């Protein structure tokens, strides 16, 4: 699905280059749950940005279905993120003036699919609530529903459990795993207990894959 070949991302830290990712080789296979484990600052977010085309590599290549992401124009990359990819972040970003159901619909898609997803995520009785009327775990499950709407080919999750207690974190990962259909799931985290159900786990340290 996605192939990263010797991919690097360099930030300019006031004139000094900082390698957030260095020569990473990695493949995301169709339908798999790939876990990426690493401490804070190891380059997890940067690697997700590269794999998902949110950032263009400073070196090396990322290919999606055989096509170099660097060769796509901004519009194509945006289309990819909208249609083929789903995203979940550490903090549940929801629009405060929209209900849970309306927040799911923001990613574009049918009302009945959105309602079905909320149902699967055990939120159907709360679909009409505003974000501040939901718990942290419920808010993150709304984000899961939003990311899964439209059955993306790859779902990227950047420490989706970091703002939750352990039980709610485990619940969110289970929901993501179970309801992603045939899509791949790429989840980065510093917490190995969140990756117990992953098909494969790779480790990241100082921007490099260590195993
Ligand atoms: P993680 O998600 O694992 O915490 P990041 O990918 O956010 O790691 O960051 C990896 C490294 O890149 C860190 O050393 C961080 O300080 C550095 N970094 C991240 N963003 C920037 C930036 N915009 N400018 C300079 N350095 C950055
Ligand atoms: Mg991060």
The string of pLDDT tens digits covering residues 65-77 is 999 999 999 899 8
**Ordered DSSP codes for 88-144:** E-SS----TTS-HHHHHHTT---HHHHHHHHHHTT-GGGTTS-GGGS-HHHHHHHHH
pLDDT value at residue 6: 97
Residue 164 has pLDDT above 90, yes or no: no
pLDDT average, residue stretch 183-199: 96
Question: Over 80: is that where the pLDDT of 109 sits?
Answer: no
Give every strand in the sheet of 67-68, ordered side by side: 16-28, 2-13, 59-64, 67-68
pTM of the model: 0.94
Q: Cα(45) to centroid of ligand 1, in Å?
A: 8
> Ligand 1, residues 8, 14, 36, 46: which to mutate, most atoms within 8 A of Cβ?
46
**Cα 89 from Cα 49, distance rounded (Å):** 12
Would the CA dihedral through 196, 197, 201, 206 be positive or negative? negative
pLDDT of the residue at 82: 86
Confidence of residue 125 (pLDDT cuts 50, 70, 90): very high
Residue 135 confidence class, pLDDT cut points 50, 70, 90 = very high
Ligand nearest to the CA of 58: 1
Query: How far apart, in whole angstroms, are the C-alpha atoms of residue 200 and residue 105?
Result: 31
Helix axes 166-179, 136-148, angle to 10 degrees: 20
């Amino acid at each position: 699905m996605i192939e990263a070949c010797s991919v690097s991302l360099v930030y300019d830290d006031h004139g000094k280059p900082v390698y957030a990712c260095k020569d990473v080789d990695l493949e995301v296979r169709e339908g798999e749950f790939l876990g990426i484990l690493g401490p804070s600052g190891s380059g997890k977010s940067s690697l997700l940005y590269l794999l998902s085309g949110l950032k263009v590599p400073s070196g090396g290549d990322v290919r999606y279905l055989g096509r170099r992401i660097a060769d796509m124009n901004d519009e194509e990359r945006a289309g990819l993120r909208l249609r083929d990819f789903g995203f979940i972040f550490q903090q549940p970003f929801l629009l405060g003036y929209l209900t849970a159901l309306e927040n799911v619909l923001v990613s574009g898609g049918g009302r009945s699919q959105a309602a079905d997803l909320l149902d699967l995520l055990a939120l159907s009785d709360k679909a009409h609530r505003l974000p501040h009327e939901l718990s942290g775990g419920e808010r993150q499950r709304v984000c899961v529903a939003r990311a899964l709407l439209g059955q993306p080919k790859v779902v990227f999750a950047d420490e989706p459990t970091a703002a939750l207690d352990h039980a709610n974190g485990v619940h969110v990962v289970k929901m993501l795993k179970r309801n992603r259909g045939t899509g791949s799931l790429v989840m980065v985290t510093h917490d190995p207990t969140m990756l117990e159900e992953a098909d494969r786990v790779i480790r990241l340290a100082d921007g490099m894959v260590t195993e």
